[in-house]
């Protein structure tokens, strides 16, 4: 399966993903139930994260989702507030060793539920309408994983949060009624504008910048869906965008691949925190 | 990579490669030992060595050694649990050579057994074991897996494959490694479903088979049963 195949699907792109994965009606029903289970686990992690202010292992994060959720909506942008709060809720649960759904990884677990459930709740879409989009998100991740390992330690954060943003962009586009081409182009545009993102967690903890980064890239995914739904497309074919990301991943030095030795991790304060935590 | 591996696993944080993958590698090592582990020594390589504590890799390795899957709320308190169950644990770091940056060697000892399992966490919770007791085999934990230690004599592979076929089980992958011709060898065989007990017993008793383990599939685990939402509360609080 390629992104070109997905974009050319006659109906919603998720139908092709489901058909590839489930050969019989029984398998399909099982798969959809599996996806429903994942969606509910995502929901549960959001619900827990929005009300908790328990600190993470290092104390760097843990209260941001709740703070945003309870804050006055200064910009009168309830969708923005909801999407960001949901995304951080999941990643703060993750950082305090709570139970989450990796999508595709734990560090990037907030982006997809933030964008998809954030938009769904904002507009009142029900759960049944989200199963296809969730399958499509998985299909986009499958295609990316054919070109590179989806891990910050091999491809940088573009491989983790870049992938999650592309998956989320496609999912939101399909949930809003976008056709197969629009959904895949939403993914491609999200990816194209994440290329180069390095993995630089302070002290090696999946907390800073990871928690706020999920908030930002869930919004990035929604923004990409908005462009795609309006008919904006990626001039570079989506499969070529994936290859470009994979090649940038290979060019990244080890310091920028989850070793906690570059970028934000390598600031004076980042290094101090790492030292304090190592004690 | 299956769809529910991409949208999943359901797991205790904070890192699919450093926590969930590490847990699965240790779980595979536990099954390769085939007995209750008394001592576990983990040698961490690359990114595992640099960021193990931050990602809870240490906790996940110990939890897996205790039999936990990646979604087990036991993970954050794995060290206390190990102490309570009489499991000695010990961590070291080393350069394991030209291997994936997230690699670990787990040496587990039971009362009478010992096994050394080396593998990598590839991202998203996927794993690959590439060495057992010094033999270069290869399996992923996504199938039930037979590990067979045997004498390197002609026809062994055909004979073993035949027993598996007669049990009506498909072989997904088979990797065989030997130290020297005619010496000690090992096979890893990924199969589509577990062997029946008679077939396993039969293999075990083949003259040239000296050691046999059947490892379960560890990718699905208790978490991925379709529609499974059991309302298990998140592991409470912070780990430290
Ligand atoms: S910065 Fe690294 S650890 Fe954090 S989310 Fe991105 S890839 Fe994962």
Residue A173 touches chain B, beta carbons under 8 Å: no
Q: How far is the CA of B111 from the centre of ligand 1 (A)?
A: 40
pLDDT of the residue at B236: 28
Whether B21 and B121 have beta carbons less than 8 Å apart is answered as yes
What is the per-residue pLDDT for A151?
77
Tell me the domains of chain B and their CATH numbers.
8-134 (3.30.1330.90), 143-240 (3.30.70.260)
ipTM summary value: 0.95
The answer to whether the CB of A260 is under 6 A from ligand 1 is: no
Q: At residue B229, does pLDDT exceed 50?
A: no
Please determine, for residue B30, whether its predicted confidence score (pLDDT) is greater than 80.
yes
Query: What is the rounded distance in angstroms from the CA atom of residue B86 to the CA atom of residue B38?
Result: 7
The sheet with strand B145-151 has its strands ordered as: B171-178, B184-191, B145-151, B209-215
Answer whether A106 sits within 8 Å of B14, measured CB to CB: yes
Instruction: Tell me what the pLDDT averaged over chain A comes to.
Output: 95
Does the structure show a pLDDT above 80 at B112? yes
**If you ran DSSP here, which 8-state letter would residue B235 be given?**
P
Model pLDDT for residues B165-202, shown as the tens digit of each residue? 999 999 999 999 998 888 899 999 999 999 999 999 99
Local confidence band at B36 (pLDDT 50, 70, 90 cut-offs): very high
pLDDT at A131: 98
**Which of B1, B53, B102 faces A153 most closely, judged by CB atoms?**
B102
Helix (H, G, I), strand (E, B) or coil at A146: helix
Residue A258 Cα, ligand 1 centroid: separation in angstroms?
7
- Residues in chain A predicted with pLDDT less than 50, given as ranges, are none
Residue B139, burial from CB neighbour count under 10 angstroms (0-12, 13-18, 19+): buried
This model's pTM is above 0.90: no
Give the pLDDT confidence of B121-140 residue by residue, as tens digits: 988 789 999 999 999 999 99
Min Cα distance B89 → chain A (Å) is 19
Best of A99, A137, A200, A203 to disrupt the B interface (most B CBs within 10 Å) is: A99
Tell me whether residues B15 and A260 touch, CB distance under 8 A. Answer: no
The pLDDT assigned to B142 comes to: 94
The pLDDT of residue B234 is: 30
pLDDT computed for residue B94 by the predictor: 93
For residue B165, CA distances in Å to B73, B159, B172 come to: 39, 10, 12
Taking residues B64-92, report their average pLDDT.
96
Q: Which 203-222 residues of chain A touch chain B by CB within 8 A? A: 203-207
Task: Answer with the residue of higher pLDDT: A137 or B233.
Answer: A137
Q: What is the spatial distance between Cα A38 and Cα A131, in angstroms, rounded to a whole number? A: 10
Residue contact A205–B2, C-beta within 8 A: no
pLDDT at B180: 84
Q: Which two tokens stand for residue B35?
A: 């007995």
Residue B221 banded pLDDT, cuts 50, 70, 90: low
If you take atom 8 of ligand 1, which residue's CA is the nearest one? A107
Of chain B, the percentage scoring pLDDT greater than 70 comes to: 92
Tell me whether residue B69 is exposed, middle or buried, using C-beta atoms within 10 angstroms of its C-beta: 0 to 12, 13 to 18, 19 or more.
Answer: buried
What tens digit of pLDDT does each residue of A173-226 get? Answer: 999 999 999 999 999 999 999 999 999 999 888 999 999 999 999 999 999 999
Q: Report the share of chain B in percent with pLDDT over 90.
A: 78
Confidence at B237, pLDDT banded by 50, 70, 90? very low
Hey, where are the domains in chain A? 3-278
- A203 to chain B: nearest residue by CA? B54
Supply the mean pLDDT for chain B. Answer: 89
C-alpha dihedral, A239 to A241 to A245 to A248, nearest 10°: 120
Evaluate if residue B224 carries a pLDDT over 50.
Answer: no
Q: At residue B223, does pLDDT exceed 60?
A: no
What pLDDT is stored for residue B182 in this prediction?
82
Atom of ligand 1 nearest to the CA of A156: 7
pLDDT at B235 over 60: no
């Amino acid at each position: 399966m390629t992104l070109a195949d997905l974009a050319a699907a006659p109906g919603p792109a998720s139908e092709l993903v489901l058909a590839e994965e489930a050969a019989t009606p029984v398998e399909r029903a099982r798969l959809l139930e599996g996806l429903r289970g994942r969606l509910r686990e995502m929901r549960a992690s959001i619900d827990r994260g929005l009300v908790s202010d328990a600190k993470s292992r290092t104390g760097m994060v843990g209260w941001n989702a709740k703070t945003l959720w309870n804050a006055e909506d200064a910009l009168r942008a309830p969708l923005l507030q909801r999407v960001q709060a949901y995304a951080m809720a999941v990643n703060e649960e993750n950082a305090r060793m709570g139970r989450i759904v990796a999508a595709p990884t734990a560090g990037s677990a907030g982006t997809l539920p933030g964008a998809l459930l954030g938009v769904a709740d904002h507009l009142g879409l029900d759960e049944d309408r989200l199963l296809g989009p969730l399958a499509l998100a998985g299909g986009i991740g499958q295609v990316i994983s054919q070109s590179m390992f989806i891990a910050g330690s091999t491809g940088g954060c573009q491989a983790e949060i870049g992938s999650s943003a592309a998956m989320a962009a496609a999912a939101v586009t399909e949930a809003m009624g976008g056709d197969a081409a629009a959904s895949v182009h939403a993914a491609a545009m999200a990816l194209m504008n994440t290329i180069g993102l390095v993995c630089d967690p302070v002290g090696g903890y999946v907390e800073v910048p990871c928690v706020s980064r999920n908030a930002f890239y869930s919004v990035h995914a929604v923004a990409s869906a908005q462009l795609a739904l309006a008919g904006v497309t990626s001039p570079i074919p989506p499969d070529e965008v994936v290859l470009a990301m994979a090649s940038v991943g290979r060019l990244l030095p080890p310091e920028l691949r989850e070793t906690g030795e570059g970028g934000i991790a390598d600031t004076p304060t980042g290094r101090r925190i790492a030292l304090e935590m190592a004690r | 990579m299956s769809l529910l591996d991409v949208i999943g696993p359901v797991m205790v944080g904070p890192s699919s490669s450093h926590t969930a993958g590490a847990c699965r590698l240790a779980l595979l090592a536990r099954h390769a030992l085939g007995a209750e582990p008394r001592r576990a020594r983990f040698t961490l390589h690359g990114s595992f060595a640099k960021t193990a504590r931050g990602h809870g890799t240490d906790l996940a390795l110990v939890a897996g050694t205790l039999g936990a899957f990646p979604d087990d709320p036991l993970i954050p308190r794995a060290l206390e649990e190990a102490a309570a169950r009489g499991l000695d644990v010990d961590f070291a770091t080393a350069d394991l050579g030209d291997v994936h940056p997230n690699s670990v060697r787990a040496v587990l000892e039971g009362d009478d057994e010992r096994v050394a399992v080396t593998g990598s966490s590839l991202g998203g919770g996927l794993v690959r074991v590439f060495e057992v007791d010094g033999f270069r085999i290869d399996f992923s934990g996504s199938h039930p897996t037979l590990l067979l230690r045997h004498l390197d004599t002609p026809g062994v592979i055909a004979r073993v494959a035949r027993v598996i076929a007669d049990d009506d089980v498909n072989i997904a992958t088979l990797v065989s490694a030997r130290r020297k011709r005619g010496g000690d060898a090992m096979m890893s065989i990924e199969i589509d479903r577990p062997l029946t007990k008679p077939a396993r017993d039969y293999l075990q008793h083949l003259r040239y088979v000296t050691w046999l383990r059947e490892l379960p599939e560890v990718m699905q685990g208790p978490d991925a049963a379709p529609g499974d939402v059991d309302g298990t509360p998140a592991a409470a609080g912070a780990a430290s």
